[in-house]
Amino acid sequence: MASQLSSYPLLARIAAHAQTSPASPAITDVPASLEVSYGALASDVVSLGGAIVRALVPGAENDVGEARVAVLCDKGYLVPLALLSTWAAGGFAIPVLPALPVPEQAYLVNNGDVALIITDGKNRARADELARVKEGGVPCAVLEISLESVREGASADAVPDPAAHLASRPPIAGDRRAMMLYTSGTTGRPKGVVTRHSALAAQAESVVTAWRWTSADNLLHVLPLNHLHGIVVALLPTLWAGAAVEMWERFDGAKVWLRWINAEGKRPISMFFAVPTVYTRLIEAHEKLDADTRAAASRASATLRLQVSGSAPLPESVKAAWEKEGGVGGGQVLLERYGMTETGLIATTGWENEKRVKGCVGFPMPSVSIRLWDTESNVLVSARDTPGEVQVSGPGIMREYWRLPEATAKEITPDGWFKTGDVAVWSGAQGAPEAEGMLRILGRSSQDIIKSGGEKISAIEIERAILELEGMKDAAVVGVPDDVWGQVVAACIVTTRSELSLASLRDELRAELAAFKLPRKLKVFDTIPRNAMGKIQKKIIVQNEFVAPAAA
């Protein structure tokens, strides 16, 4: 018999907080000047959940049967509200970033076979356009929401005790789909990573346990809400713990420093999560402050309980500048973690500062097991400093790649371990590395995924877009090491054009690619170097064309 959960775990936690601490702050939407308590959050979720059911299955009581629901709203309270309400309705949520170009958004809506797009007033026209161009599958409806409409619905529904209503959800299958985030793959097209409700609960609880989250915490949230980092690492653990999250629409370095200083006497910030590029930008913003404000900013940084860097390797220069006594970060030692969309967080450096070791991503997260596997000899790697592929097991592992059974089977071993494609070594003790060792990542086994500013970018997707342009004969896209971004996208092109500039190339690609995918470097070749099998020799390109000239 398939396992069952007593209810939707995250909704049950929110309901419990709403019952015991209804006035406690849950989500602050800074651009909207809105603070929502746990009691109000539970009421809003019940109201919007009912509206979703009525939009998809008129006459149904509370379950839309895993219908796919896209969330296309500007960052703010409406995004987490729409996600939670989709789950309350029995739906399967797909966050869509408003800043993506129309072709990328249309791909997500079509690939996900979306039945409903939840949107706000600002993005309504785009949502209508996406619903019109949806190709085949189920019909796609649009539901525009606002805080006012949600709360008018709550008044009309007149549910006497929303928290109790939310807590009394019927049992669900443990394998039930909850959310799909898209991640770039070597095929060039983003793959939908499907996460179960049980996995989201396991991931949230694991983060809360590892980082000692409490209801007293207040997280400053500057991350996008269409990735693991922003949703699963930052937002959901906050709600699991009954803590507060302060959401900004976008990052602003100077404003972050001023918020930490907190001269206005607001609720103090206790936690901050970001990609390495953001910490670099904070250093730059710190340098532009006047002397007194710089000193106050560094003192304020030192008071935060936890500052985390993830989604890309943290440059040692940034780490050192941050933790230097009397330096920018006030002596804070940034905690580094390692994870993937398919697994949630895998490892974290230690809680104590001395266990936040240079170059390591630390220890397995609670409920996560890690093994290193020699993919050539097909044996377990246990010796210290011996490379192997990182493989992961635990309750947080993805359910599947959406409608890609062969890709799913390829990445999950017969005994249930997910193959990350990353190569690492155990730099800790031998014998029981999962419990004692520290994990040190050496790099990707694939050359076609570029990590830039916390984003994971498919080189093949960019190559395809380039080759669609007039006069392009061949293209290779590579990741070039960069102290600020981790890697930057570089395009190597063979063209019949007499002239081609980086600026003109970026302008031509802008309609098809998100801004973070646009090349930052350009080289024009007579021929692209390939091996005897016809494969592009990307390592040689990076070394000969970018690394060696930069070092000369």
pLDDT tier at 121, thresholds 50, 70, 90 = very high
Spatial distance between the Cα atoms of 235 and 80, rounded to a whole number of angstroms: 8
Residue 47 has pLDDT above 70, yes or no: yes
> Which is higher by pLDDT, 427 or 73?
73
The β-bridge relationship of strands 379-381 and 369-374 is antiparallel
The β-bridge relationship of strands 177-183 and 191-196 is antiparallel
Q: What is the pLDDT of residue 269?
A: 99
Q: Which residue has the tokens 């996560």?
A: 368
- Spell out the alpha helix ranges (H) of 396-445: 405-411, 433-436
Domain map (residue ranges) of the chain = 4-196, 365-444, 449-551
Pick the CATH number of 4-196 from 3.40.50.300, 3.40.1710.10, 3.50.50.60, 3.40.50.12780: 3.40.50.12780
Cβ count near 325 (within 10 Å): 6
Q: What is the DSSP letter of 412?
A: B
Q: What is the pLDDT of residue 255?
A: 98
Task: Report the CATH superfamily, name and number, of domain 365-444.
Answer: Luciferase; Domain 3 (2.30.38.10)
Q: What is the pLDDT of residue 168?
A: 84
- Non-local (6+) Cβ contacts of 312 within 8 A are 275, 276, 277, 451, 452, 453, 454, 485, 486, 487
The helix or strand, by DSSP H or E, that contains position 200, with its residue range, turns out to be: helix 197-210
Condensed to tens digits (0 to 9), the pLDDT of residues 362-400 reads 899 999 999 999 988 899 998 887 888 999 999 999 999
8 Å CB contact between 191 and 402? yes
Spatial distance between the Cα atoms of 305 and 309, rounded to a whole number of angstroms: 14
Condensed to tens digits (0 to 9), the pLDDT of residues 49-80 reads 999 999 998 766 678 989 999 999 999 999 99
The β-bridge relationship of strands 68-72 and 172-173 is unpaired
CATH topology of domain 449-551: GMP Synthetase; Chain A, domain 3 (3.30.300)
Q: What is the pLDDT of residue 141?
A: 97
pTM: 0.84
Mean pLDDT score of the chain:
90
Spatial distance between the Cα atoms of 534 and 368, rounded to a whole number of angstroms: 39
At 53, list the tokens.
Answer: 């059911």
Mean pLDDT of the 79-95 span: 96
At 310, list the tokens.
Answer: 């993830």
The helix or strand, by DSSP H or E, that contains position 380, with its residue range, turns out to be: strand 379-381
Q: What is the pLDDT of residue 82?
A: 98
Closest CA to 299 of 318, 327, 321: 327
Same fold, 365-444 and 449-551: no
Least confidently predicted of 216-220, 435-439, 456-460, 520-524: 435-439
- Kindly state the percentage of the chain with pLDDT values over 70: 93
Q: Which residue has the tokens 């050192």?
A: 320
The β-bridge relationship of strands 244-247 and 455-458 is unpaired
